[in-house]
Amino acid sequence: MSMHPTVSRMKTAIASLEDESVKKAAAELIAGIEANITPSTKGVPYSAIERVKELFGISDQYILFGEGNPVDRMVSTPPAITTDSKNNEESHFKRFAARLSLMLTYSGMPLPDIAKALEVSRQSPHTWRTTGQISKDNLKKLCAIEGVDYDWVKDGTLNSDEARYSVKALYERARQGIEEKTKALEVELERCKEICAAVILPEPNQEV
C-alpha cells in the first residue's frame, strides 16, 4: 500500500526540525495518524493536520499542498502528546464531514458559483462535500460565504448567539430543501402510478 501523500509531506517536513527528541515525538504522532487512515476516512482528517501544526510548528500549507516552508516555527522541546483513539479520530472526522456536507448540500449558492467565488476548480466543492477534505483557508472562506459559523463547522462548538443563529439558518435551509424534495418525489410517484396504472391497479372485477 502506497503512503498517503499528506502523510508523506508530514514526514518530509519533520526532517527540517532541529531537535532530535522533537523529531522522534513528531514521527510517533504521524505514525499514529497514518495507522488511522481507513477507506472510511478517505484521507487525513484536518483535525490531525492542525494537531501536527500546533504541536510541532509544521506548516499546514506544506502538509496540504507542498507549498512554502515545511516549518513555520521551531519547537525546542517535545510536547506532551495524548494520542486519540482510532474511534475518536474517525468519529470527529465523520461529524466534521457531515457538517461540511450539509452546508454544501443546502448552500445558498450553486456549487459552481462557490467554486468561482473561492477561485478553485469547479470540482472542488463536490470533492469537499463527498470527502470532507478541505483546507483551513478554504473552509474559512466557505463559511463566510455561506454565513455559517466557522468554529461550528470545524469542531461543532457554538460560542455565541450569532453562531447559533447561523446554524439555525442553515437548518431552515436544509428543512425547506428536504420538504421541497419530498413534495417533488410525491408528485413523481403519482406520475409513475398514472403511467403504470394498468399493472398496479386491479381489474374492474378483480378482488384487491
Percent of the chain, pLDDT > 90? 36
For the chain, percent of residues with pLDDT exceeding 70: 87
pTM of the prediction? 0.55
* In the chain, where the domains are located: 5-84, 86-200
Q: Which residue type, as a one-letter code, is found at position 141? A: K
Q: Which of 87-101, 132-146, 162-176 comes out lowest in average pLDDT?
A: 87-101
- What is the CA 177 to chain-centroid distance, rounded? 21
Question: Residue 4: which of 28, 37, 48 has the closest Cα?
Answer: 37
pLDDT at site 158: 80
Task: Provide mean pLDDT across the span 40-57.
Answer: 77
Alpha helices by DSSP H, listed for 36-85, are 46-56, 60-65
Provide the β-strand partners of residue 58: 71
pLDDT value of residue 86: 44
The span from the CA of 74 to the CA of 19, in Å, is 9
Distance between CA atoms of 100 and 93, rounded to whole angstroms?
10
Higher pLDDT, 208 or 68: 68
| Positive or negative torsion for Cα 43, 93, 37, 80 | positive
Residues near 133 by beta carbon (within 8 Å), at least 6 away in sequence: 42, 43, 46, 127
Q: Give residue-wise pLDDT tens across range 58-100.
A: 988 888 888 888 888 888 787 765 544 444 555 677 888 889 9
Looking at residue 90, its pLDDT comes to: 58
